[in-house]
Amino acid sequence: MKELIQKIRKENIGKIEENVSLKKYTTYKVGGRADLVVYPKTVEKLVLLIRILNQNNINYKILGNGSNLLFSDKDFRGVLVKLSDINSIEINGNRIKVGAGYSLMKLSRMAMKNSLTGLEFAAGIPGTVGGAVFMNAGAYKSDMGYIVRSIKVLTPDYRIIELENKELNFHYRTSFLKTHPKYICLEAIIKLEHGNKQAIENLMKNRLKRRLESQPLNYPSAGSVFRNPPNMFAGELIENLGLKGMKHGGAMISDKHANFIVNSENAKSEDIKYLIDYAKEKVKEKYNVEMIVEQEFVNW
């Protein structure tokens, strides 16, 4: 790892953090430690970094805001690549060109300030643009698939290409990127509609208020744990089993919204994983419904 760090420094790729706790990089605030976190300064530096990592057979993971991940308690042997510095933004009329590392919540506010409607659903989603495209993040019956016209990606053979919306295979909480994780989202072109600034702001405030009232935002979590099965609500199924408020170690099935698992008291990843598996198993037993986990398990 020392040689790798020297190489990264020599190539001036970007900021480096060594031997860091993953609690700092996930919204669950759990996980072991990572050998290295690297923040490439530019797309060119990112390409160079990925080449170096592949040439040296180094395990790596692209990381957004860690808002949809559950790392294990084990140490992550390898490199986490944070795209925070790939965050440029250009607004031309109703089209926004934005870097993968840009905050989705910040983007929704930027759209509102420019009287653009279509991104209100993202006002409370704590991810990055790249992460949101990857998992087709959404809420209130809308998602990224409705507004993303195209994205620029780095392919596994180091080409930078553009993929159109129809090639991205957007479906409920999934996309081409999720099934092809070696493709790295670099930027997105988002097309919105012109709207009334005050109406957009009012809608965002209203939805944020509803979110605060219905979701356990006072504890670390990673949002909804399970996708809603067809014509059902995951939280309702779990609540009907009497599992609201169930604890395991420092984790708890939220007593406010049963499709959230929260880190209520210095939880371990194992505690959260136990509750996810338990809820999934009990719903299957009672309703014969196979729950699909929205969150990504890393390093288990």
- pLDDT tens sequence across 92-122: 999 999 999 999 999 999 999 999 999 999 9
Residue 63's alpha-carbon distances to 16, 205, 267, 296, in angstroms, are 14, 29, 22, 12
Fold of 2-82: 3.30.43
Element (H, E) at 20: strand 14-21
What does the DSSP 8-state code read for residue 174?
B
Distances from the Cα of 298 to the Cαs of 61, 68, 154, 219, 262, in angstroms?
9, 10, 22, 21, 18
pLDDT at 124: 87
What pLDDT was estimated at residue 296?
93
Is residue 224 annotated as a catalytic residue, yes or no?
yes
Catalytic residue among 72, 175, 224, 264: 224
Give percent of the chain with pLDDT exceeding 90: 94
Structure confidence at residue 171 (pLDDT): 95
Measured CA to CA in angstroms, residue 252 lies from 68, 225, 275, 295 at distances of 17, 12, 7, 16
What mean pLDDT value characterizes the chain? 96
79 — phi, psi (to 5°)?
-125, 130
Mean pLDDT of 124-128: 91
- The pLDDT score that the predictor gives to residue 268 is 98
In this structure, whether the domain defined by 89-200 belongs to CATH 1.20.58.1000 is answered with no
Catalytic site includes residue 294: yes
Give tens-digit pLDDT for 54-90. 999 999 999 999 999 999 999 999 999 999 999 999 9
User: What's the pLDDT at 119?
Assistant: 96
As annotated, the residues of the chain forming the CATH 3.90.78.10 domain(s) are 216-298
Q: What is the mean pLDDT of residues 135-158?
A: 96
Number of neighbours of residue 32 by Cβ within 10 angstroms? 17
Select the CATH number that applies to the domain covering 216-298 from these four: 3.40.50.920, 3.90.78.10, 3.90.550.10, 3.30.565.10.
3.90.78.10
Q: What's the whole-model pTM score?
A: 0.91
- Residue 281 is a catalytic residue: no
C-alpha–C-alpha distance, residues 8 and 10, integer Å: 5
CA distances from residue 228 to 11, 197, 216, 259 in whole angstroms, order as listed: 46, 32, 18, 9
Q: Mean pLDDT across the stretch 271-287? A: 98
The answer to whether the beta carbons of residues 237 and 262 sit under 8 Å apart is no
Rounded Cα distance, 275 and 11, in Å: 44
Amino acid at 60: Y
Element (H, E) at 36: strand 33-40
- pLDDT tier at 1 (50, 70, 90 boundaries)? confident
Catalytic residue among 108, 120, 173, 221: 173
* CATH 3.30.465.10 domain residues, the chain: 89-200
Which amino acid appears at position 136 of this protein?
A: N
Whole-number pLDDT of residue 212: 87
39 pLDDT higher than 90: yes
